[in-house]
Structures are given as structure tokens and as C-alpha cells.
Chain A
Amino acid sequence: MSAASDQEVLRVENLTKHFPAGHGKMVHAVDGVSFSIQRGKTLGLVGESGCGKSSCARTIIRIYEPTSGRIFLEGEEISHLTPKQMLPHRRKMQMIFQDPYASLNARMTVQDIVAEPLRAHHICASRGEEREMVIDMLARVGLNQDHAGRYAHEFSGGQRQRVGIARALILHPELVICDEPISALDVSIQAQVVNMLRAFQEEQGLTYLFIAHDLSMVRYVSDDVGVMYLGQLVEKCEADEIYSHPLHPYTQGLLSSVPIPDPVAARQKESVGLEGDLPSPIAPPAGCRFHTRCPYATERCKQEVPELKEAGPGHFVACHAVNS
């Protein structure tokens, strides 16, 4: 690997985002998350609904102001830039949204939607040039020239998501944050979209932060996987490793909830299913946040917060039972 491709595109250190919940209380959406992504790689971020994945993504892309912690994009810190200072960095970092219906403005044509990034960054000198770029981009996501004049509501979910992808990629960003880009699509379309994203990655050396709750899809697209629980990263390692050797009890629980397409194998599998609900992020449990649902919880877990430690080569886990 060359030095350039070895470069870190995104580094997040101790990222924390708290939302005021009224009465002086805080929602601990993201609490001290750290990770980095190398150029051309994909980091999958998984976890239950409400564990802070999307908040994490939105804080990184600076829709939300981080409460504390630092974000580095290609080595430059962007955690506390003003919107004006942020503008040149926005070109390098784009986002694909979950809901293909809500993420496209119903009053704009596809042409206008896809051209919006070009206009925001004053890239095209003329309308003709802009139109050319848009049509070129649409062709690359599998839409044609006729689609450019239409409105978003005239498309199917898969086509809309393609428009969303075209909008994110037209600026040739370095990093693309995919916030559950396929969870609102049906299964046959999911595969198309994911394969398209992979093709773009190979073609342009894109770096992805891929957020999902579908573990099998994350395994397919990711190089590394981070598991989030209640705003914290509890386990992080290579994608295959996490599926073959999940260490954290939460990861094990998540993996056992993945349906197995082979009924014989499914019957043989021992279940470590997760019980109980996610505790409130307003008053997260003390000590290890997972101790309320953990089958192996001890007295120590209720008091001491486990640190993310390397339990094997490149395999980080935050659990007292594993680390001791």
C-alpha cells in the first residue's frame, strides 16, 4: 500500500454530543466515541435504534455542533469551524440519507436537486455545463436524461435513493457518510444500491462511514465494524473478525438476532438473544452501560466504566469480562 492510500480520511476523538432534554437534563446521544477510517475503506457502524449512530454521523458532518471531542477530516480539525470556514470542507464530505422520500425536496426537479451541490460551491460557470455534469452523474447512478426534468414523487424508492447518491457524489467527495441508506428500501433494491456504492468506492477510492442496523449487509460492505451501544463504541475490529469472534456480550446478542437462511443451522445455533429494552439515554446506567441487560454482569460492571482495550490484534472491546 502506498503512503497516500494509507492516509486517514476521518479521525474522531472522544466525540460527544448531548442534547438538552428540558429540566436541565441531557440526552447522551453520543458519548466519547473515537475511531478513524483509512482512505478507500469502509467503517460499518451498527447498533440498535436509538443508540446514537445517526447522531454520531450528523455530528461528524457538522449538522449538529459537537458538545466535546474532536473531528479531523484529512488531518484538519473541523470540530469547531464556523459555517463559512466549514464550506470548503463540505465538498470533501457528503451524506446519503435514510429516507429517500424525505431527503429529496418535493418542489424541485431531479436536475435541481442534483445540481444543488454544484451551485452551493459555484463549480459550474454556465447552466449548460451544469446540466451536462448532472446528466453525466445521473447516467452513472443508472438514471437517464429524461429523468432530470421530473419531480421526486414520480420515482420509486430505489430511484429516489439513486438521486440521493448522485447528489452526494457529484462533488467527488473523499468521505461519504451513509446513514442507513438501504433500510427504507426493499431487499432486491438494497442489493442494487449497495453494489452501486461498492462500485463507486472501487472506481473513485471513496471512503465510507456506513451506518446500518442490518448486520449481514454491514458485513458485506465494511472493512471494519464498530458496534455502538447507548452512545458508546463497545467493540471495534475487522468485519470478518467480529462475525467469527464477537467478544462483547452485546455484539454476541446482536449477531444471534440475525436470521439464518438455513433452518437446520438455525436450530443448532444456541441463542444469546438480547433481553430487555435500551435504557434511557437521558439517564444512562452507571458503570458499563450494558450491565442492565448483560447475562455476565458483575458488581464491578455496575460501578466501573470499561475502557475500549485491544483484546486481540486490531480487535478492541470495552468489557470487563473480556479485558480482565
Chain B
Amino acid sequence: MQAASKWERVASGIGEADRLYSKPRSFAGDVWFRFRHKPTALLGLIIIAVLILFAVVGPFITPYGYDDQNTKFANIPAVLQVYPAPDGHWLYITKALKVVEVDEQGNLVQQLRKGKDDAANKVTVYPYGDGLTVTLDYSQTPAAIQDAEGNRISETKRLWNKTYLLGTDHLGRDILSRLMYGTRISLMVAFIAALVNMVIGIFYGGIAGYLGGRTDSIMMRIVDIISTIPLTLYVILIKVCLDDGLLSIIIALSSVYWVDMARVVRGQVLSLKNQEFVMAAQTIGSSTRTILTRHLIPNAMGPILVTVTMLIPSAIFMEAFMSFIGIGIAPPLASLGTMCNDATDALRTNPYQLFLPAIVICLIMFAFNFVGDGLRDALDPKLKK
């Protein structure tokens, strides 16, 4: 290319500059752009998506209901330490010294029926199949199976429990299925409570902030009074007055947690309402409703969203906590909290029953906190590139 041609005059046109403009990016698009460039936030979102899938689709796949119980297979963990049986099957000894037959793949077959108990030698003989017997030696801990010569078998094998992938609880209910139902309830409680809180908080805070003056003072003093009572105590009191069940938990959570949201919205509205674009809307003659819904709330949406995502984990925790102390979901309905509660009795012998729901609670909390953090950063205009 010749040097001179670089400096040739280009015919002017308004359209040219506009075509060079990038495609207009909406506010939401902008936020999403910044959000997906934050690994923790994206991870949180993926975890939430997986958990939702787990909670919504899972119960349709699993063959067990949350209340299907088989006491013969109670307290069986996910990984089985098994002893060889005479016919090539395997035997698992439960913590309660029951012997369970397991096939080669790890499917539970049956609990063996007790034959003769020799208390003097601390052995129990179980009839097994056609005339065969299996001897359980509980003279030493851990208990073991004896071979044909009466020696304790030391070589054992680990098998994955194929019948109950994550094991069973003390009533022989499938923990995986109960986790699915529990997560479903936790998420449902959290989302509904968050939604209700958002709506109440936006209305209350929006009105207080926009009207200002005495109305604002009175409304915010009410919020102050509500928030001086510890929210946990308040929720417990409400729960005590209402019946057990999902609805009452949602009512209890929804009627309390909106105060934070109301404060956030009120603060935002207060700072936004003196901006010139709100004044412009007033001079135009837009109605108060239009000003609130089209100008103030959309501009306050950032902090509102962050507060909601931060509110969800605390609602989940609150539900789990209430179920744990026994005023939440009524049995046999599963909730992560009731599962933890059920597991505490057998914590020393079957710790996995507590760890599994606890891990799920942690995952949910982590995921929502990550997403909340990510959203807050993505919505912060100061970080705009």
C-alpha cells in the first residue's frame, strides 16, 4: 500500500461512525459478561444448577421414596467391607452384628437368619443356602466370619453398595433418595422465602424511601424493632404457633427476613430519588408507580439481587436448623436438617449418615455465597472495564 493513500480524505457520513459502534449491550448482558469471567461465581452457578437437577429430576429416577424403609438393611454404608461366603457371594457384618449377604456386584441379597448362638465361644452360626453354614465370630472386635476350619478370615474386600448407593439410615431408608427430597425441600423453602422477602422488602423499602419524611421514620422504626429481636428466636416462636410442615416454615421465614431487604431497598431509593432522572420523571408527570417501577427499582436491582442471593443460604440454613432441632419438616418427610438430626444418635457408629446431608448443606451454602459474591462484583459499576 502506498503511503499517500493512507492519508486520503474519506468521505464523511454519519452512518460510518455508528456502524463502527459495537452492538449495544444491555445492562443484563453487561453483568453476565463480568459474571462469567469470575471462576468462583461460575462454579457456584454450576453447583446450583447441578443441585437443582439433583433435587428436581433425581426423585423420578431413584427407585425408592423418601419413606420407603427396609429395616433388614438398616445402617448399611455405601462402601462395604465384605467377607467371602461359601458360594462365592460375600457377607457384610453390620455394626449391630447382623450378617447381610451381598452378591459379586455389590447388590444386597438378604439378611441371614440367625441359627444357633454359642454364647460361651462368642460365635453365632447362620444357615446359608443348601445345608451350608456361616459362623460369625464376635469374640474380638471387629467381628469376623470364620472359615471352614474355624479360623477368623482376615482377608476381606471392599465392595460398593449397589442397592443403596449412599447407604441407608437407621430405618433402612435410602440416603441418596432422601438427600434428593431433602435438597428439593431446602431449595424450595429458600427460593419461595427469598421471593416473598424480595417482594415485601421492595414494596416496604421502596415506599419508605420514596415517601421519606415521617412515613419513612415510622416504617423504619418498625423495622428496627423487628430486627432487635433475634430473627432465629422470632422464627422459632412463629413456628411454635403454627403447625408442622412446609408451608409454616415458609411463612415463618418470609415474615421475618424481609427487614434486611427493606433496608437495602430503602437506602437505594433514598439515594436515587434525588437524582436528576427521577426529577425529570416528576416534571414529565409520570405517576409514582411508574417512577418506582421504571426508574427507582431497576436502578436498585443490583444490591437487591445481591441481597437475595445472600438471603437464600441463610434461609436454607435456617430451615435446616429448625428441622434439626425438631420444629421444621415433620417426619417422615426428608429435609437436610432432619437427616442430620436422625444421624446424630448413631454418630459414632455411622458417621456417614451425618456427613452426607452436612456436605450437601455446605455445597448449597458455598454455591449461593459464591454466586452472591460474583453478582456483587459484576454489578459494581466501579469495576466496569
Shortest Cβ distance from A110 into B: residue? B24
Q: How many residues of A contact B (CB 8 A)?
A: 35
| B285 touches which of A106, A121, A144, A147 (Cβ 8 Å) | A121
CB of B12 closer than 8 Å to a CB of A: no
B14 touches A117 (CB 8 A): no
Which candidate, B260-268, B291-299, B352-360, B362-370, is the interface stretch facing chain A? B291-299
* Interface residues of chain A: helix, strand, loop or mixed (majority): mixed
Give the chain A neighbours of B286 by CB distance below 8 A: 116, 119-120
Shortest Cβ distance from A151 into B: residue? B24
Nearest Cβ distance between residue A165 and chain B, in whole angstroms? 12
B14 touches A144 (CB 8 A): yes
CB of A270 closer than 8 Å to a CB of B: no
Residue from A87, A93, A95, A116 having most chain B Cβ neighbours under 10 A: A116
B298 touches A58 (CB 8 A): no
Q: How many residues of B contact A (CB 8 A)?
A: 24
Shortest Cβ distance from B286 into A: residue? A120
The contact string, 1 if C-beta is below 8 Å from chain A, for chain B 266-310, is 000000000111011111111100100011001101000000000
Report the separation of the CA atoms of residues A97 and B279 in the bound assembly, to the nearest whole angstrom.
9
CB of B7 closer than 8 Å to a CB of A: no
Give the chain A neighbours of B24 by CB distance below 8 A: 149-151, 154
Report the separation of the CA atoms of residues A149 and B21 in the bound assembly, to the nearest whole angstrom.
13
B299 touches A106 (CB 8 A): yes
CB of A264 closer than 8 Å to a CB of B: no
Give the chain A neighbours of B275 by CB distance below 8 A: 102
Give the chain A neighbours of B290 by CB distance below 8 A: 116, 119-120
B295 touches A117 (CB 8 A): no
Interface residues of A in 29-63 (CB under 8 A from B): 58, 61, 63
A117 touches B279 (CB 8 A): no
Give the chain A neighbours of B276 by CB distance below 8 A: 97-99, 102-103
B298 touches A107 (CB 8 A): yes
Given contacts A120-B290, A151-B26, contact A104 B277 (CB under 8 A): yes
The contact string, 1 if C-beta is below 8 Å from chain B, for chain A 100-144, is 001111111000100011011100000000000000000000001
Shortest Cβ distance from B18 into A: residue? A146
B299 touches A90 (CB 8 A): no
Nearest Cβ distance between residue B295 and chain A, in whole angstroms? 5
A90 touches B283 (CB 8 A): yes
Shortest Cβ distance from B28 into A: residue? A107
Give the chain B neighbours of A86 by CB distance below 8 A: 285
Shortest Cβ distance from B297 into A: residue? A107
CB of A207 closer than 8 Å to a CB of B: no
| B280 touches which of A97, A144, A151, A154 (Cβ 8 Å) | A97
Report the separation of the CA atoms of residues A90 and B283 in the bound assembly, to the nearest whole angstrom.
7
Shortest Cβ distance from B295 into A: residue? A105
Report the separation of the CA atoms of residues A297 and B382 in the bound assembly, to the nearest whole angstrom.
51
Give the chain A neighbours of B287 by CB distance below 8 A: 120
Nearest Cβ distance between residue A208 and chain B, in whole angstroms? 15
Report the separation of the CA atoms of residues A89 and B27 in the bound assembly, to the nearest whole angstrom.
34
Shortest Cβ distance from B272 into A: residue? A105
CB of A232 closer than 8 Å to a CB of B: no
Given contacts A104-B277, A107-B299, contact A87 B26 (CB under 8 A): no
Give the chain B neighbours of A91 by CB distance below 8 A: 285
Shortest Cβ distance from A57 into B: residue? B283
Nearest Cβ distance between residue B375 and chain A, in whole angstroms? 16
Nearest Cβ distance between residue B252 and chain A, in whole angstroms? 34
Report the separation of the CA atoms of residues A97 and B280 in the bound assembly, to the nearest whole angstrom.
8
CB of A94 closer than 8 Å to a CB of B: yes
B27 touches A107 (CB 8 A): yes
CB of A18 closer than 8 Å to a CB of B: no
Give the chain B neighbours of A107 by CB distance below 8 A: 27, 295, 298-299, 301
CB of A167 closer than 8 Å to a CB of B: yes
Report the separation of the CA atoms of residues A63 and B276 in the bound assembly, to the nearest whole angstrom.
11
The contact string, 1 if C-beta is below 8 Å from chain B, for chain A 230-274, is 000000000000000000000000000000000000000000000
Given contacts A107-B27, A108-B294, A151-B26, contact A58 B279 (CB under 8 A): yes
Given contacts A95-B280, A99-B276, contact A154 B26 (CB under 8 A): no
Report the separation of the CA atoms of residues A274 and B282 in the bound assembly, to the nearest whole angstrom.
37
Interface residues, chain B, CB within 8 Å of chain A? 14, 18, 21, 24, 26-27, 275-277, 279-287, 290, 294-295, 298-299, 301
Query: Which 9 pairs, one residue from A and one from B, show the smallest C-beta to C-beta distance?
Result: A90-B285, A103-B276, A107-B298, A102-B276, A120-B286, A105-B277, A150-B24, A95-B283, A97-B276
Sample (19) of A-B pairs whose CB atoms are under 8 Å apart: A61-B283, A63-B282, A90-B283, A91-B285, A95-B279, A97-B276, A98-B276, A102-B277, A103-B280, A105-B294, A105-B299, A107-B298, A116-B281, A119-B286, A119-B290, A120-B285, A121-B285, A149-B24, A151-B24
Given A93-B283, A116-B284; 8 other pairs, CB 8 A cutoff: A63-B282, A63-B283, A103-B280, A107-B301, A116-B281, A116-B294, A117-B285, A154-B21
Interface residues, chain A, CB within 8 Å of chain B? 58, 61, 63, 86-87, 90-91, 93-95, 97-99, 102-108, 112, 116-117, 119-121, 144, 146-147, 149-151, 154, 164, 167
